Copies of this chain bind each other. A is one copy, B any other.
Amino acid sequence: MKRLIAAGLALLVANPVWAADLRKDVSDYRAAHEAAIVGQLDELVRLKSVAADPQGLTATGAYLESQLKARGFETASWSVGGSAPIVYGLLKTPGATRTAIFYAHYDGQPVTRAGWSSDPFVPVMRDGLAGKDLDWKAERPPFNPEWRLFGRAAADDKSAIVAFLTAFDALKAANRKPSVNIKVVWEGEEEASSAHLETILKSHAAELQSDVWLIGDGPVHQSRAPTIYFGARGSMGLDATIYGPLRALHDGHYGNWVPNPAAMAAELITQMRDGEGRITIPNYADDVRPQSAAEQAAIARLPPVEDGLKKEFGIARTEGGEGLTASTMRPAINIRGIRSGQVGLEANNAIPVDAVLSMDFRLVPGQTTRRVQEKVEAFLKAKGWTVVTTTPDAAMRLANPRIIKLAWSGGYPALRSDMTSPAAKGVIAAAQSGAGGPIAILPMMGGSVPINLFDELFHVPIIGLPIGNHDNNQHAANENMRLRNLWDGINLYAAMMAQLDW
């Protein structure tokens, strides 16, 4: 398989000299405009595009539409029922036979101010992840590429948008014509479950014809190499409540006799997954689509990152015996939280009234949310649980020895696009050319992006172009974008606009 892909690349990177020239042009442009590029990211982060601020979302959408318009794009702003607008853009390239859609989302995760070292919407530059504040506007470029700009959505995904705009400007400045027709879909509700995305995409199916979707979301590989991915795991949330006695009971007088819901929750966890993260629900993996030889080969080629990550995370062992990416190719049940009774100074000697267990199911191709739910619930019933969806009353509790209340949430399936399609080979070739060095090619991200929707609606290859550093704290406090990753992203996007072809 290695030879096959290598042969494909030799074929596709038709003109390495031209590619090197392009890289140089783009890099030179970036070097000459570092302050302006960071300035645009800073400006974009200040626009509060979070679900809690509908006006901020609207303003951000308007800003982005104006940015496309200024660059000669035909634009539109799509919204239904007051949703945050999807910013659409189209730039036809005379003579181009292929059309690529560049997707990103401009909304950020909700913000909890606690935990942030600075205002999430007033970007601060620091000289590292735990670095000191810098007045970057007073500094003279070239900036140290290890600097990071901190702010909500700085990485996820506003940097992808800035990289796109800058790459476009760099090509124009170098008088380089795109190789494809360019379409843009910038969404404003991704962090709020993309509630209106499907409706809007369906009603604009005609405008959204393309040959490939390029997804500007997600982190790059932990090796920090420029990365493309061919899929992402699906995701479902599950909160489960397990019931103990109607009121907290003195565990001296009643412990060993009244069932302890925390112990029941512990038993349930160990019945669902073993200490190595392997799911032990019978037949759970029946639906899983096997990995292809190309996918396995791609994983084997990834630069090793495991030792570095163990150090970064302070862990001495890992679950399972495989590397990181091989591990995340499997379905997973992640315990994201458990709450029962009290601990520490608040602990009292009582049997808790319940235990709440929050789980995150990661799906792989072949699994559907419906089948996962069915299998989990069948397993629970086989283990003697009475599965309910509303809080049981006293009579029900008295009649059923093990009651579990389930609340499923936010489900969508996984996607792995074919890594060997002509479009896939074209994207790989362009990415390698744009990087001018090794890139990381992931068959599937461990994390989830609902790109299955694009696949279901449009049946074209869906390929990820992430640019954020893996340690960008997306979805957490102190989200940040490392400048080196932004610079790499500009080159990656420029290559996709100017070199993509098949």
Residues of A within 8 A of B (CB): 219, 233, 235, 237, 239, 243-260, 262-267, 269-270, 273, 275, 277, 310-320, 322, 324, 327-328, 330, 332, 334-344, 346-352, 355-358, 360, 362, 394, 397-402, 445-448, 470, 474-476
B340 touches A340 (CB 8 A): no
Query: Which residue in chain B gives the minimum CB-CB distance to A274?
Result: B267
Which residue of B243, B310, B445 is within 8 Å of A252 (Cβ)? B445
How many identical subunits does the complex contain?
Answer: 2
Q: Please state if A275 and B270 are interface contacts (CB–CB under 8 Å).
A: no
- Are B358 and A253 in contact, with the CB atoms below 8 A? no
Taking the closest CB of chain B, its distance from the CB of A262, in whole angstroms, is: 4
Q: Which of B239, B311, B335, B476 contacts A344 (CB 8 A)?
A: B239
The answer to whether A275 and B267 touch across the interface, beta carbons within 8 angstroms, is yes
Partner of A339, one of B245, B256, B338, B447: B338
Contact A334 B253 (CB under 8 A): no
Verify A324–B470 contact, CB threshold 8 A. no
Q: Main SS of chain A's interface residues?
A: mixed
C-alpha spacing A181/B402, complex, angstroms? 54
> With contacts A257-B320, A324-B257 known, is A251 near B313, CB below 8 A?
no
With A and B bound together, what is the CA distance between A100 and B244 in angstroms? 42
The answer to whether B335 and A219 touch across the interface, beta carbons within 8 angstroms, is no
A256-B446, A267-B275 are known; give 15 further A-B pairs, CB within 8 A: A245-B315, A246-B312, A252-B362, A252-B447, A254-B313, A255-B332, A255-B334, A257-B319, A266-B267, A315-B397, A336-B351, A337-B352, A343-B358, A349-B475, A350-B476
Are B316 and A400 touching (Cβ within 8 A)? Answer: yes
Contact between B239 and A343 (Cβ–Cβ < 8 Å)? yes
Contacts of A263 in B (CB 8 A): 269-270, 273, 275, 277, 335
Across the interface, do B239 and A347 meet the contact criterion of CB distance under 8 Å?
yes
Q: Which residues of B contact A255 (CB under 8 A)?
A: 277, 328, 332, 334, 360, 362, 446
**Minimum-distance CB pairs A-B, first 6:** A252-B447, A337-B341, A317-B401, A266-B269, A251-B334, A246-B314
Given that A338-B262, A338-B340, A341-B335 are known contacts, is A399 also in contact with B256, CB under 8 Å in the complex? no
B259 touching A319 by the CB < 8 A rule? yes
A401 cross-chain contacts in B, Cβ below 8 A: 315-317
Contact in complex: A470, B253 (CB < 8 Å):
yes
Q: Within the complex, what minimum Cβ distance (angstroms) separates A327 from chain B?
A: 4
**CA separation between A54 and B168, bound complex, in Å?**
74
In the bound assembly, the distance between CA atoms of A46 and B263 in angstroms comes to: 39
Contacts of A219 in B (CB 8 A): 253
List the B side residues contacting A399 at CB < 8 Å: 316
